[in-house]
């Protein structure tokens, strides 16, 4: 049976809350990424939804990135590209969604999880929400999520995350660099701040919000093609002798 879930609830008729969850530290296999993309697109087209909150289940990890088991199973460039297109699809769904998306990050993020946190429009976190881009450790790089992360925190900070792949950067570091707009002491105060912001936003002019969303994402119309190219790049690298040998060591 497939593990994990993506569900949408409505704490307010105008607020959609999308939650993803997986027992392996909220890692995201391909089928959950597809469900998350569909949920974002559905809420984006729902005339009753004014604001979206994107969150994950549990209290320790926001998202541990892609499924390691699926990564290990890649055996040709086509399956490699398809694998890496998963997070590309989530980023592009957030980018194209006409509704403002608030990210609620309660814990650590690795790899693709950092990409999701970068793709929302306004991200709030707890002090436990450290981030890491660990892709270089297995012989690839954060190519697919790179445009979203760089857009959020700049090239210098993205370079630091990409090359210092062994170490987590703190939530305070992410706040300073602009990934998080706010950092809270606990999940409880985080939730209060998230719902307060959402409730405020639904009182504002919806057309103004839609136009602001377009402004926020100016210059990204080519991302469908760009992220597909990056996915193909990663799909080739994961088949390299270096990466295959590294993955075997991780699995043993």
3-state helix, strand, coil in the chain (%, to 5): 50, 20, 30
**Spatial CA neighbour of 71 closest among 29, 37, 113, 112:** 29
**Pair of tokens at residue 229:** 């190219």
pLDDT of residue 2: 75
Residue-wise pLDDT tens digits, 99-135: 999 999 999 999 999 999 999 999 999 999 999 999 9
**Tens digit of pLDDT for each residue in 37-92?**
999 999 999 999 999 999 999 988 999 999 988 998 999 999 999 999 999 999 99
| pLDDT tens track for 201-248 | 999 999 999 999 999 999 999 999 999 999 999 999 999 999 989 988
Confidence of residue 96 (pLDDT cuts 50, 70, 90): very high
CA distance 130 to 171: 5
b/e map 74-88, b = 16+ CB within 10 Å: beeeeebbbbbbbbb
116 exposure class (CB count in 10 Å sphere: 0-12, 13-18, 19+): buried
Which superfamily is assigned to 5-201 in CATH? 2-enoyl-CoA Hydratase; Chain A, domain 1 (3.90.226.10)
Round to whole Å and give the CA distance between 246 and 225.
Answer: 29
- pTM (predicted TM-score): 0.96
Q: Find all residues with CB under 8 Å of 81, minimum gap 6, and list them.
A: 228, 231, 232, 234, 235
Query: Of 115, 102, 198, which is closest to residue 162 (Cα–Cα)?
Result: 115
Would you put residue 218 in left (φ > 0), alpha (ψ -120 to 50) or beta?
A: beta
Ranges of each domain in the chain:
5-201
Backbone angles phi, psi at 75, to 5 degrees: -135, 5
The pLDDT tens digits for 129-172 are 999 999 999 999 999 999 999 999 999 999 999 999 999 999 99
Q: Which two tokens stand for residue 153?
A: 């925190």
Q: Enumerate residues 6+ apart whose C-beta is below 8 A from 215.
A: none
The pLDDT value given to residue 251? 74
């Amino acid at each position: 049976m497939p593990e994990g879930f993506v569900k949408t609830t409505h704490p307010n008729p105008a607020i959609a809350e999308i939650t993803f969850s997986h027992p392996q530290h909220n890692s995201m296999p391909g089928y959950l990424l597809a469900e998350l993309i569909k949920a974002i697109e559905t809420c984006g087209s729902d005339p009753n939804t004014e604001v979206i909150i994107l969150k994950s289940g549990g209290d320790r990890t926001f998202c541990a990135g892609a499924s390691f088991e699926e990564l290990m199973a890649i055996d040709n460039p086509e399956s490699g590209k398809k694998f890496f297109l998963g997070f590309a699809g989530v980023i592009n769904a957030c980018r194209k969604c006409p509704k403002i998306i608030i990210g609620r990050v309660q814990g650590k993020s690795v790899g693709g999880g950092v990409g999701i946190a970068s793709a929302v429009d306004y991200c709030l976190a707890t002090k436990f929400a450290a981030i890491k881009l660990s892709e270089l450790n297995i012989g690839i790089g954060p190519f697919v999520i790179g445009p979203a992360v760089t857009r959020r925190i700049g090239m210098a900070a993205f370079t630091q995350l990409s090359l210092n792949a062994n170490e987590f950067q703190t939530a305070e570091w992410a706040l300073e660099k602009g990934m998080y707009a706010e950092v809270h002491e606990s999940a409880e105060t985080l939730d209060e701040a998230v719902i307060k912001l959402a409730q405020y936003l639904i009182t504002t002019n919806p057309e103004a919000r839609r136009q602001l969303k377009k402004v926020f994402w100016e210059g990204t119309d080519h991302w469908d093609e760009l992220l597909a190219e990056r996915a193909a790049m990663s799909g080739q690298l994961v088949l390299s002798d270096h990466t295959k040998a590294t993955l075997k060591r991780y699995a043993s």
